[in-house]
A and B are shown apart, each in its own frame.
Chain A
């Protein structure tokens, strides 16, 4: 069974500092990987996705994520955080089977200190 672990429930960083959001997955083959963002009272918005090819994926607002098969990770990074980045971030793994099941992590809530 596929699973996703986001080890950090809550992260607080100062504006301008670098950021890494961690995501580890468990899946038997090459997975589909996603990062979503959720603002309070809103649904999930897709930020990044990895299906195949280049393991470094560029997203919106300066975020990037790197797929590392050897570590079963899909960590998301940003060199300089902005106050508007404060939100909750969810990592997800999807399979390529007929059901196309997507499993979400428990989320990491990011707080940005001015």
Chain B
């Protein structure tokens, strides 16, 4: 059973606010990911990490930033939220092995007004 958690599940916030989306996993996985998902669209990778102190940008350009200070924790931060950031954000993790099977959290639905 995959144990990966995201908080908050839903967030409505005004333009210009700073927000942090939390993601934690208890599986000891080295690799973690953030995806952005819009209705009817594929998942777009925005950030990933191979392990502690490792962060990389994904395929989709994003104004967000991430950090990986602890193996189990991979928070995503938006310094100044805008309506264009309205989306669902999914966190995932996987083992650092040959098979790229990913386990997903329940997601955070962000609305910026």
* Interface of A toward B, CB cutoff 8 Å: 4, 9, 32, 34, 36, 41-46, 49, 51, 90, 94-96, 100-107
In the complex with contacts A41-B107, A42-B106, A43-B106, A90-B43 CB distance below 8 A: yes
Interchain Cβ contacts within 8 Å, total number: 58
Say whether B104 contacts A45, CB under 8 Å: yes
Secondary structure of the B contact surface, majority rule: loop
> Which residues of B are found within 8 Å of A100, using beta-carbon distances?
31, 94, 98-100
> 1/0 per residue B91-113: CB within 8 Å of A?
01010001111111111010000
Interface centre among B4, B6, B90, B109 (most CB of A within 10 A): B90
Residue contact B40 to A32, C-beta cutoff 8 Å: no
Q: How far is the CA of A94 from the CA of B43 in the complex (A)?
A: 14
B12 contacts A by Cβ under 8 Å:
no
CA distance A84 to B109 in the complex (A): 23
Closest 7 CB pairs of A and B: A100-B100, A94-B100, A43-B104, A44-B104, A104-B43, A43-B106, A106-B42
The answer on a CB contact under 8 Å between A43 and B100 is no
Q: Which residues of B contact A (CB under 8 A)?
A: 4, 6, 9, 31, 40-43, 45, 90, 92, 94, 98-107, 109
Is B100 touching A32 in the complex (CB atoms < 8 A)? Answer: yes
- Checking B9, B102, B109 against A102 with a beta-carbon cut-off of 8 angstroms, the contacting residue is B102
With A106-B41, A106-B42 already in contact, the answer to whether A44 and B100 are too (CB < 8 A) is: no
| Given A34-B101, A44-B104, A102-B102: A107 and B90 interface contact (C-beta under 8 Å) | no
Return chain B residues, CB-CB under 8 Å to A51.
99
Which residues of chain A have C-beta atoms less than 8 A from B104's C-beta?
A: 36, 43-45
Residues of B within 8 A of A42 (CB): 106-107
26 A-B pairs, CB-CB below 8 angstroms?
A: A4-B42, A32-B100, A36-B104, A41-B106, A41-B109, A43-B4, A43-B6, A43-B90, A43-B105, A43-B107, A44-B43, A44-B90, A44-B92, A44-B104, A49-B101, A90-B42, A94-B99, A96-B98, A96-B99, A96-B100, A100-B99, A105-B42, A106-B40, A106-B42, A107-B40, A107-B42
